[in-house]
A and B are shown apart, each in its own frame.
Chain A
Amino acid sequence: MKVLVLNTMTPFGWGGAEELAFHLTKNLNAAGADAEQFRIPFQWNPPERLIESMLFFRGLRTWNVDRMIAFRFPAYLMPHDNKVLWVIHQFRQAYDLWDAGMSNIEDSERGREIRATIKRADEMAFAEAVKIFTNHQTTADRLKHYNGWDGEVLLPPLNDPELFMGGERENYILASGRVNSGKRQYLLVEAMAHSRSNVRLVIAGPPDSPGDADALRALVAERGLSDRVSLDLRFLPREKLADYVNRAFAVAYMPYDEDGIGYVTMEAANAGKPVITLGDSGGVLDLVKDGETGRVCEPTAEALAAAIDDLVGAPARSLRLGEQARTAWAAREITWAKTIERLLA
């Protein structure tokens, strides 16, 4: 089957959606399909350009593929008889960000016209699609709320599970993922000050802003923890990240009210590592159960320190929790094989 994976492009920008589309294409080909990704530049600034952008994507044509899989607005406007949408997000400035007053589209007569056009275009694409998936319940909820369309949740699998196969654990807790105050890495640093074990903490991931990195560095210095806490604050190559995960004793991931399980949780579980999280971390709790697949704590440094000490003090039990996390994750069957099966059904 010839498949066109159609994604939007912000030239020289690269993020989660790009990773997902890249790995989807790779896995489609590995599964025997004949797939290629086209990345088409999308301009949304100034908002007036959105009209041309919609017409541009709508005007694209292809004649030789059996199926098209499109991710984002306005890529999914391109006409195709056999179009599957995997909506990662809509153009949020026209929807929830508009409602939140955080849109780049002005609340003027023209702005409202543009917004209405986006909504009509979206609904035209939804009506044309042979199937609509979303990456997430939140995306599905928005689709339902704003456009009245149902999207079936199809959680993206780990892009490269083969990298996260686990391994001999070392004596550190890993906090991976984006670094910002919402992800609460600072709480882990504080916990290290309370911890009575000799375990180390590695915080590895890209800071959202230089300020996020600086704050963390200052805290480590202030608490005198520089010998026990390593900061590797940058965008890590996948191999480097996987190496951190595979050698970790456990992985800590403590976002506030996360939408989904989170890639960090998925990577840790895939590698057979217990996950430390907080009671208010939202979707992470779907997979992380206290005492089964990791530890769920109150959001205080003391509670976190106690949980860490508890894990480190019982290495055999920790190992079992990690294995159970792996099993629980595998039971979800969120794999490329299953994903592709559904996308090509």
Chain B
Amino acid sequence: MRVILVSTAVPVMYGGARFIVDWLELVLKQYGHQVETVYLPAVDHSDTRYFEQMLNFRLCNLAEFADRIITFRPPSHMVQHPCKVMWFIHHLRVFYDVWHVYRPVPDTAYWRAYRARLMAADRVALSEAHRVFTNSLTVSERVKNFNGVDTEVLYPPLMNPERFYFDSYGDEIVCVCRFEHHKRQYLLAEAMRHVRTPVRLRLCGASTEALARVEAVAEEIPAGRVTIEARWISEEEKAERLASALAIAYVPIEEDGYGYPVLEAAHARKASIVTDDGGAVREFVRDGVEGFVLPPDPKAIAEIFDRLWSDRKLAARLGDGAAARIDELGIGWPRVVERLLS
């Protein structure tokens, strides 16, 4: 089958939402399909340009080129094809669920109207799709609530998950993700103020301005207890760190996806510590089954750090639970390929 994958991206900014697209291209090719990936330049979301781009992408009609297209980040879902499948991974959230929390535009009648029209336009595009998949129940619910469209959850798998392996339950809680304010690594660093066991914490990820707050906290903690690797670590390094981790922690706020870090940990048979305001990460992690779901409170987190350090059997039981959860949720490429091409 000839398939075109369409998403948006900011030139020379990699990572994030590109993985799902790039990995799918590789996998579909492995399955013998012909695949082209089209990245359309992404515009800044917080101005009227977004509507212009929605309409502009509408002018792109790929009917003649492929048997179907699969779209990802909005507004790539505006691109036209008679057999359009959407893997809808998030809305333009500042106009959706985040509107009442964080708004880059003034709360004027204009922008309220803009928001209403955006939802209606998204509904139009979603309704014309051959199928709409999302990356989580959380996103599915949002699409249902805001756009009135039913969707199917299709959890994105990892590329080559066999690169993650189990070695041991060491004494280190590991967190691998870019330093961002909303990823809240500072909660983990602050937790280390309250621990009573010799448990250690390792934070790895590309540096951003969010790093400073984490470093400031870490400085107050005795040397050797908190390790910060402020860089993009290689996949091999990541696998190695996860293999010997005691567990992982991943404490973002209101995520759309269930989180690659959680899935990577599960492939290494490690439990995940997440927070109850973490959004879709809770779809994978249930409290006491695949890890712990905690309030975003350093003391509560510290308590679990100590508990896991003191009870490796618990770490093992939850790690096994996490590994089992992958199959339970049907996370894997064969299913993804079957559903997307159905």
Direct contact between A and B judged by beta carbons closer than 8 A: yes
- B64 interface hit (Cβ, 8 Å): yes
Of listed A4, A11, A43, residue having the most chain B CB within 10 A: A11
- B329 interface hit (Cβ, 8 Å): no
Query: Which residues in B have their C-beta under 8 angstroms from that of A43?
Result: 61, 64
A residues 63-78 near B (Cβ < 8 Å) are 63-65, 78
A35 nearest CB neighbor, chain B only: B12
Query: Which residues in A have their C-beta under 8 angstroms from that of B59?
Result: 52-53, 55-56, 59
Q: State the interface size on chain A (CB cutoff 8 A).
A: 29
Of listed A45, A64, A78, residue having the most chain B CB within 10 A: A64
User: Which residue of B2, B38, B55 is within 8 Å of A39 (Cβ)?
Assistant: B38
User: Which residue of A40, A59, A62, A64 is within 8 Å of B38 (Cβ)?
Assistant: A40
A317 to chain B, nearest CB (A): 50
Interface residues on B, range: 20 to 34
Query: Which residues in B have their C-beta under 8 angstroms from that of A59?
Result: 52-53, 55-56, 59
Is there contact, CB below 8 Å, between A9 and B38? Answer: yes
- B159 interface hit (Cβ, 8 Å): no
With contacts A41-B62, A60-B41 taken as known, whether A12 is within 8 angstroms of B36 at the C-beta atoms is yes
B14 to chain A, nearest CB (A): 8
Query: Which residues in B have their C-beta under 8 angstroms from that of A55?
Result: 56, 59
Is there contact, CB below 8 Å, between B66 and A11? Answer: yes
- B49 interface hit (Cβ, 8 Å): yes
Contact with A along B37-54 (1 / 0, CB 8 A): 011111110000100110
- With the chains together, A323 CA to B334 CA distance in Å? 55
Is there contact, CB below 8 Å, between A11 and B40? Answer: no
Is there contact, CB below 8 Å, between B11 and A64? Answer: yes
B138 to chain A, nearest CB (A): 29
A65 nearest CB neighbor, chain B only: B11
Is there contact, CB below 8 Å, between B39 and A64? Answer: no
- B109 interface hit (Cβ, 8 Å): no
Contact with B along A30-58 (1 / 0, CB 8 A): 00001110111101010001001101100
- B127 interface hit (Cβ, 8 Å): no
Is there contact, CB below 8 Å, between B43 and A63? Answer: yes
B2 nearest CB neighbor, chain A only: A12
B108 to chain A, nearest CB (A): 24
- With the chains together, A70 CA to B53 CA distance in Å? 20
Is there contact, CB below 8 Å, between B65 and A41? Answer: yes
Is there contact, CB below 8 Å, between A56 and B56? Answer: yes
With contacts A12-B65, A63-B43 taken as known, whether A41 is within 8 angstroms of B12 at the C-beta atoms is no
Query: Which residues in B have their C-beta under 8 angstroms from that of A34?
Result: 12
Given A40-B38, A41-B60, A62-B43, 5 more pairs with CB closer than 8 A: A12-B2, A39-B38, A41-B4, A52-B59, A60-B40
Task: Tell me the A residues contacting B by CB distance below 8 Å.
Answer: 2-4, 9-12, 34-36, 38-41, 43, 45, 49, 52-53, 55-56, 59-65, 78
Question: Can you report 15 residue pairs joining A to B where beta carbons are below 8 Å apart?
Answer: A9-B36, A11-B4, A41-B4, A41-B38, A41-B62, A43-B61, A43-B64, A52-B59, A56-B56, A56-B60, A59-B53, A59-B56, A61-B49, A62-B10, A63-B43
